[in-house]
Amino acid sequence: MSAATTDTANPRKPYVRPISKTSWFLTSARYKSYMVHEVSSIFVALYMIQLVAGLFYLAAGPEEWESYLAFLRSPVVILLTLVGLVFFVIHTTSWFKAVPQATRIMRGEEVLPGKILVTAHYGIWAAVSLFVIILAWVA
Amino acid sequence: MAHSSRGSAKAIPWFLFAAGGTVTAFVLPVMLIVTNLGFFPSAMSYEGMSGFLSWWIVKLAVLGILTLGLWHAAHRLRVCAHDFGIRADELVAWIVYSAAGFGSVAAAVALLMI
């Protein structure tokens, strides 16, 4: 923001509380939890790259696919996967938490209570997860 | 928020971000468990995976998840860069959105090759 530059030109020299541009979010629990779900995007991006690369390895043939699977078994990838899983679940729960603020469903004259919306999202999440697990299990 | 009958120019990027956030919220945790933790060797075998991805509906679903996920991550990474003190927003936006676009096209190409 341009506040800092205009303040230096201000002859009244008002007090400007110093705020770090790089660590401001450490000052409150709300900011910290905001940053944790924003940082989840780093893991989403990494996983998307891994999956796009995987498609190319699959297209290349069985041997290439085998080397991709070996890469997935490497300790660094396993570690990133476990950390990423935590961030993915944080992304999911924080996203669901914000659903009532983002979605308003009218039922006649009343707004559908946010709690119902959030519960429905958790229900769908469980169903989708179970469906994917079953799909992978029978394959 | 300003009310305008013409709507907002940000409506489409915002819709993509929200759609990406929703889709990734539902599918990414379970997908990561299936693909990366070795619990499903038969599904992750060459035969299993290429058979699964030979279905056009599956190809479309995978492309949808990847495109929306990339867009969602790109938008959040842009915000992250700002929040960590990087104020070259135009450059950051150009880099992350280009990367997301490139990744989506690459995914489509790879899916066509399978």
So what's the pLDDT on residue B33? 98
Are residues A48 and B73, on separate chains, in Cβ contact within 8 Å? yes
Residue A3 reports pLDDT greater than 60? no
Please compute the mean of the pLDDT values over residues A77-102 and round it to a whole number.
95
So what's the pLDDT on residue B5? 53
Are residues B76 and A38, on separate chains, in Cβ contact within 8 Å? yes
Mean pLDDT (chain A, rounded): 91
Please compute the mean of the pLDDT values over residues A70-98 and round it to a whole number.
97
What is the pairing mode between strands A106-107 and A110-111? antiparallel
Instruction: Quote the pTM value.
Output: 0.88
Distance, in Å, from the CA atom of A115 to the CA atom of A104, rounded to the nearest integer, reads 12
Architecture of A36-102 per CATH? Up-down Bundle (1.20)
Higher pLDDT, A8 or A109: A109
Could you tell me the pLDDT band of residue A17, with boundaries at 50, 70 and 90?
confident
pLDDT tens string A61-81: 999 999 999 999 999 999 999
**Contact (CB, 8 A) for A80 and A88:** no
Residues of A in contact with B40 (CB under 8 A): 136-137, 139
Interface of A with B in 80-99 (CB under 8 A): 81, 84-85, 88-89, 91-92, 95-96
Q: Hey, what domains does chain B have and what are their CATH numbers?
A: 11-113 (1.20.1300.10)
Please compute the mean of the pLDDT values over residues A42-57 and round it to a whole number.
98
Low-confidence stretches of chain B (pLDDT < 50) are 1-2
Joined tokens for residue B80 = 């992250």
Cβ of A128 under 8 Å from any chain B Cβ? yes
